[in-house]
Structure 1
Amino acid sequence: MEVQRSVTATPRLSASWRRSEDYGIPLDAVNPAFSGGVDSAVDGSLFYECGQEILGGLRDTLSGEPVSMMLTDADGLVLSRVCDESALVSALDKTYLAPGFAFSEREAGTNGLGLALADRAPSLVRGEEHYCTGLWGYTCAAAPVMDPVFGRLLGSVNLTTWSEKSAGLLLALAQTAAGHTSTLMLARGRGAQARPTPKGEVFRVFTAQRDTASPPALGEAWESALAETVAALRSGRTVGVIGEAGVGKTALLAAALRRVHRDHRILNARPPDPRDADSWLALWTPELAKDRTSVIAGGVDALPLWAASELATIVGAARGASLAVTASEAAGIPHPLSRLLDTVVSLPPLRQRPDDVLPLAEYFGEVVRGRAVRFTPAAARALRTFAWPGNAEQLRRVVREAVTRGDVIDVHHLAPEVLCGSSRTLTRIETLERDEIARALAEPGITVTQAAKNLGMSRATIYRKITQYGIRPE
C-alpha cells in the first residue's frame, strides 16, 4: 500500500521510516504489543517514582490543555499516562497509546517516543510524519531520560496532543521534564555523583609505543579473552567486546590489534553526545578510507540508532580498514552494527579477576611515575580485597593519586574508598565521615583507640562507625 505524505522528511525521519518498513510495520494500522501491565519492579523503581512526581507537577502547569503526558521504559512500554481531556484519552485508547502497550519503532513505526528512544535524542513527530496513518491525528514530543550516574537509557517522557494544535513549547516541556526526572533521581540517590558529560572528544590516536611501560602479564580470564580476540581478528572476523564500564574492553582490543596488525594506526572513537553525532560521523569516512587503519568504536550501545545505521553503511563501503566495537552487553549493540559482528568476546569485571589487580596497579603507577613503583604488603592486600565497582578505570584513578606521593605506596597513600566495603550508597556527610575515619586508621602505627582520640570520638563510637561503613583497618 502506497501512502502519499505532504511533509518534507529530515534525515532522521527518513531513516526512521526506512527502519519501520524493515520492521514490517503496517502503514494503516496501529497494533502494538500488550505486556499485561507494569512490572512491580518498575513500579517501585527510582526512575518511575521520580518520573511520576515530575509529570504530576507538569499536569498542574498544563491544566486545561489537551495534552497527554506519558512515562515509558527504555523499550517503549508506556508505564503511565496523565491526561485530563476525556476526548483525547478516548482517542488514544483507540490507538493503544496507553499503559501496558509498547510503542517503540519496532512495535508502532515512527512516532515521537519511539524515535527519542532509538536515537537517544529529543524528538518531535507531527501528523503525517508518523509512519502509520493511524497516528496522523497526533503530534508527539518526547525526550529520553538517562541514568544520571551510569548514563544508561531508562525511558522517555512523552507529550502527545492533537495534530492541529501548535507544537510550540511541547518539545521543550518534554526535555525539561526528562531533565528534571534525572536531576530528582540524582538528588534522591543518597550521595551519588553525576556522570561526567561528554567533552566533545571524538578520536584518541595511539600507537604500539604510546606508553613507556611494558603492558603487564595478566591472569587466565584476560589472556583467554585476548586469545579469542586475536584468533578472530587473524581469521578476518569482525569483533565486539562486551563488559562493564571501565573493565578494559578498549585496551583488550588494542592489544589484540597490535598483535595482528602491527603496522596499523589504531583509532579509538568514543561515543558522542547524540546532538554531536553528525560531526562525529563526518570523521569516519576519511579515516576508514585510509589503508592500515584499525578503528575501535567504543560504547556503541550509546549511539543513536540512525548514527549506528550510518556507521554500518560507511564500514560496509570501506576498504583496507577494520572496525571493532565495545558495548556493555551484546543485546545493547544496535542491530545495524550487530549484523556486522562475527565474534563477541566477554571480558569479566575486575572483581572476578583479583590476580590482575596488583599487576595493573604497578603498570598504571609506572606509566604515571615514569619509573617502577612498589606497593607494601598491606597496600597490596587492600587493593586485592576491594571490589572495584568502577573496574580498571577506578584502579587507574586510585593509583594515579597515590603515586604522586612517592615510589613506595602504603595503605595511608590509598584513597579512603579502597579501605571501605559499605554495600549501600552514602550521603555526602556520611562519605566525609567515612573518609576521615579511614584516613585516621591508615596512618602508620596508629591504633583504633588513638584514631578515636584524634577524631574526637569515643572508642565505642569509632568501632560502631567501622562496622557501619565496612572500614578495614590495616
Structure 2
Amino acid sequence: MNELAERVHAGDAPVVPTQRLSASWQRSQEYGAPAERITPVYTGDVDDESLFFRCGQQVLQGLHETLANEPVSLMLTDHDGHVLSRSCQDRALLKALDNTYLAPGFAFSEREAGTNGLGLALADRMPSLVRGDEHYCTGLWDYTCAAVPVLDPVHGWLLGSVNLTTWSRKSAELLFALAQTAAGHTSALMLARGRGMRPRPSPRGEVFRVSTAAHPEPTPELSQPWHTALDELRAALADGLSVGVVGEPGVGKTTLLATALRRAHPHDRILHASPPAPDDTASWLALWTPELGKHNTSVIAADVDTLPSWAATELAGILTAQPRGPLAVTAREATTIPEALARHVDKVVDLPPLRRRPDDVLPLAEHLGKRARGRDVRFTPAAARALRTYHWPDNTEQLRRVVREAAARSDVVDTRHLPPEVLCGPTRALTRIETLERDEIVRCLAEPGTTPTRAAEILGMGRATIYRKIAQYGISIPD
C-alpha cells in the first residue's frame, strides 16, 4: 500500500486512520474493484417502507433545506451499500454524480466501488471520511465523502448509512460533523417511533468475561432442538474443529457454546470476548495475543459479524500467528461471519429462536427466576401459558428481563405480574400513545375477576370500543 501512504501528507492527518484505509484498499484489490471507472450494479429496488428509510428521509430532508445553496449531496443507503435516496440542488454536482452512477438504485459498497466513504463506513461500522485521492478508484477523486453507519437502536443491527458527498476541494470537517449528527438523529427518531423498547446498552466495561471450570454456571434441562445443536458442537470440538453458532440476537448462542466447551474441555477456563465499542477496537485487539497464549483457555468470540472489517482481518492474523486450540464464534447468520474469520471456522451450527422452542420457555423462566430472586419461583398455569404462547421477538434476553421484573414482585408469578407486551400478539409498531393505551387495558384485564365490560367502565371506554382495542392490539389474557 505504498501508493496510498504517499497520499497521506504530513500535517494533513486523515479522520480515517491509515491502517483502516490500507485495509480497505487491500480488500478492494481482492474484490477486483475497478481502479479507474465505476460500473456498479443497478438493482432498481428501493425499500421506502422501512422505519429506517422513513426516519432517515425526514432527517435528511431537514438538513437538505438548511444546505439548499451548498454543493452537497445527501444520501441514504442500505446495509449492502445500495443508494436509497439522494437530495441535492447543485446541478453541476448532480451531473457529476450521475456520471459516476452515485444515484438511487446503484450499489456502492467496497466490493463494487472500492474504497469510498459509504463503503468503508458499512464495512467497518464506523464513521468514515474519504477525501479525493484516498478513494481507490480514480473516477471518485473529485469527491469528498463523509458517511456514518446507522445501527438499529435496540438490536444493534447494521441498517445502512448516511452519506454526504461534495467536491474534494471543499472543507471536509463540517461535512463529517453533519453526517454524524444526521445519523444520530435518525437513530433517535427510530427509537422514538418504535415500540418504546430500551436502547441497546454500550459494550463498554463488558468486553471480556472469564468463567472458570471450578464455578460453572448451571443450565436447565432443555428441549431436543437445544440438545441437537449441543451434540453437533460437542462432536465437532471432539474432532478438534473450530465451530460457530448462528441465530437471532439473544437466542443463547454464547450459552450453548460455553456448555459445549465445558463438556469437551472440562478443565479449561472460558474467555468470552464481546465486540468492543468502535473507539476501543485497537486496545481490544491488543488483549488477544496474551490471552491466546495461556494454556487451558477456550475462547468464544461473540457477534463477530458486528466487528469492523479491518478488525476481523487483524484478529484472523493474530489467530494464524498464535498456535492454539479451536476457535468458537457466534454471529447472526453463517453468511455474515467476516470472510477473514470464516476461513478459521470448520463447522457452523444453527440455534433456532425461542418461538420455535416453546418447551424451553418455562424451564428457562424458572431457572432465570431462581437466579434473579435467590430462591425457587413458580408460575401459575395462566402465566405459564402466556409465556409459552408469546412470540419472544428478542428471545432469551427478553425472557430474562420479563422474569426478573416479575420475580421481583412475587415468588408466585401470575399474569398480573407480567408486562403487557407478553399478553399481546405480534402487531405493528405502536406510537407512544397507543403503547400507553394498550398497557392500561392489559393492566385492568390482568386483575383477577375483571371482565372486558368492567375494564371498559374503569377506563371510561364503551364496551364495543374495548373489544375493538383488544382485537387491535392482539391482547389475550389466559384464564
| TM > 0.5 fold call | yes
- Is 1:361 the counterpart of 2:365? The answer is yes
1:304-329 Cα deviation digits (max 9, x unpaired): 11111111111222223442111111
Tell me which residue corresponds to 1:142: 147
1:123-152 Cα deviation digits (max 9, x unpaired): 111122112222222221111122223322
Does the 8 Å CA contact 1:292/1:320 hold for their aligned counterparts?
Answer: no
Identify if the C-alpha distance between structure 1 residues 161 and 343 changes in structure 2 by more than 3 Å, giving closer, same or farther.
same
- Is 1:103 the counterpart of 2:111? The answer is no
Q: Which amino acid aligns with 2:356?
A: Q
1:19-48 Cα deviation digits (max 9, x unpaired): 112222243x223322242x15x1333322
Does the 8 Å CA contact 1:434/1:469 hold for their aligned counterparts?
Answer: yes
CA apart distance, 1:257 = 0.5
Tell me which residue corresponds to 1:470: 474
Tell me which residue corresponds to 2:12: none
Mapped to 1, the partners of 2:291 and 2:168 lie a distance apart of 43
Tell me which residue corresponds to 1:66: 71
Mapped to 2, the partners of 1:158 and 1:354 lie a distance apart of 43
Out of 39, 63, 67, the residue aligned to residue 32 of structure 1 is 39
Identify if the C-alpha distance between structure 1 residues 210 and 340 changes in structure 2 by more than 3 Å, giving closer, same or farther.
same
Q: Which amino acid aligns with 1:367?
A: R
Does the 8 Å CA contact 1:211/1:367 hold for their aligned counterparts?
Answer: no
Does the 8 Å CA contact 1:291/1:319 hold for their aligned counterparts?
Answer: no
Does the 8 Å CA contact 1:77/1:100 hold for their aligned counterparts?
Answer: yes
Segment drifting more, 393-402 vs 315-324? 315-324
* Partner SS for 2:7: coil
Tell me which residue corresponds to 1:52: 57
Out of 226, 240, 260, the residue aligned to residue 264 of structure 2 is 260
Percent sequence identity is: 68
Out of 161, 166, 175, the residue aligned to residue 156 of structure 1 is 161
Identify if the C-alpha distance between structure 1 residues 291 and 145 changes in structure 2 by more than 3 Å, giving closer, same or farther.
same
1:408-428 Cα deviation digits (max 9, x unpaired): 322222223222225222222
Tell me which residue corresponds to 2:429: 425
RMSD between superposed Cα atoms in Å: 2.4
CA apart distance, 1:6 = 2.9
Identify if the C-alpha distance between structure 1 residues 270 and 461 changes in structure 2 by more than 3 Å, giving closer, same or farther.
same
Q: Which amino acid aligns with 2:57?
A: Q
1:58-103 Cα deviation digits (max 9, x unpaired): 2222233222222222111222222333332333333332333221
Report 1:312-327 matches (<5 A).
312-327=316-331
For normalisation by structure 2, the TM-score amounts to 0.91
* Partner SS for 2:376: coil
Q: What 5-or-longer segments of structure 1 have no aligned partner?
A: none
1:262-300 Cα deviation digits (max 9, x unpaired): 111112122122222122222222111211111211111
- Is 1:286 the counterpart of 2:293? The answer is no
1:384-441 Cα deviation digits (max 9, x unpaired): 1111111111111111122223333222222232222252222223323322332333
Mapped to 2, the partners of 1:23 and 1:190 lie a distance apart of 40
Identify if the C-alpha distance between structure 1 residues 179 and 32 changes in structure 2 by more than 3 Å, giving closer, same or farther.
farther
Tell me which residue corresponds to 2:8: 7
* Partner SS for 1:156: strand
Q: Which amino acid aligns with 1:431?
A: T
- Paired residues in the alignment total 470
Mapped to 2, the partners of 1:470 and 1:99 lie a distance apart of 38
Does the 8 Å CA contact 1:32/1:103 hold for their aligned counterparts?
Answer: no
For normalisation by structure 1, the TM-score amounts to 0.92
Does the 8 Å CA contact 2:79/2:122 hold for their aligned counterparts?
Answer: yes
Identify if the C-alpha distance between structure 1 residues 168 and 412 changes in structure 2 by more than 3 Å, giving closer, same or farther.
closer
- Is 1:171 the counterpart of 2:179? The answer is no
Identify if the C-alpha distance between structure 1 residues 429 and 58 changes in structure 2 by more than 3 Å, giving closer, same or farther.
closer
Identify if the C-alpha distance between structure 1 residues 316 and 81 changes in structure 2 by more than 3 Å, giving closer, same or farther.
same
Tell me which residue corresponds to 2:306: 302
* Partner SS for 1:405: coil
CA apart distance, 1:225 = 0.7
Identify if the C-alpha distance between structure 1 residues 124 and 329 changes in structure 2 by more than 3 Å, giving closer, same or farther.
same
Out of 112, 128, 135, the residue aligned to residue 133 of structure 2 is 128
Q: Which amino acid aligns with 2:166?
A: T
Does the 8 Å CA contact 2:81/2:108 hold for their aligned counterparts?
Answer: yes
Segment drifting more, 2-11 vs 269-278? 2-11
- Is 1:231 the counterpart of 2:239? The answer is no
1:328-383 Cα deviation digits (max 9, x unpaired): 11222111111211111111111111111111111112222333322222221121
CA apart distance, 1:171 = 0.6
Does the 8 Å CA contact 1:293/1:322 hold for their aligned counterparts?
Answer: no
Segment drifting more, 460-469 vs 150-159? 460-469
Identify if the C-alpha distance between structure 1 residues 261 and 64 changes in structure 2 by more than 3 Å, giving closer, same or farther.
same
Q: Which amino acid aligns with 2:7?
A: S
Mapped to 2, the partners of 1:300 and 1:66 lie a distance apart of 38
Mapped to 1, the partners of 2:286 and 2:97 lie a distance apart of 40
CA apart distance, 1:3 = 5.1
Does the 8 Å CA contact 1:247/1:391 hold for their aligned counterparts?
Answer: yes
Mapped to 1, the partners of 2:450 and 2:19 lie a distance apart of 65
Q: What 5-or-longer segments of structure 2 have no aligned partner?
A: 10-16
Identify if the C-alpha distance between structure 1 residues 450 and 162 changes in structure 2 by more than 3 Å, giving closer, same or farther.
closer
Mapped to 1, the partners of 2:174 and 2:281 lie a distance apart of 24
Identify if the C-alpha distance between structure 1 residues 46 and 407 changes in structure 2 by more than 3 Å, giving closer, same or farther.
closer
1:109-132 Cα deviation digits (max 9, x unpaired): 111111111111111111221122
Tell me which residue corresponds to 1:184: 189
Mapped to 1, the partners of 2:203 and 2:177 lie a distance apart of 21
- Is 1:439 the counterpart of 2:443? The answer is yes
Mapped to 1, the partners of 2:66 and 2:236 lie a distance apart of 57
Mapped to 2, the partners of 1:119 and 1:98 lie a distance apart of 22
Q: Which amino acid aligns with 2:171?
A: S
Identify if the C-alpha distance between structure 1 residues 249 and 75 changes in structure 2 by more than 3 Å, giving closer, same or farther.
same
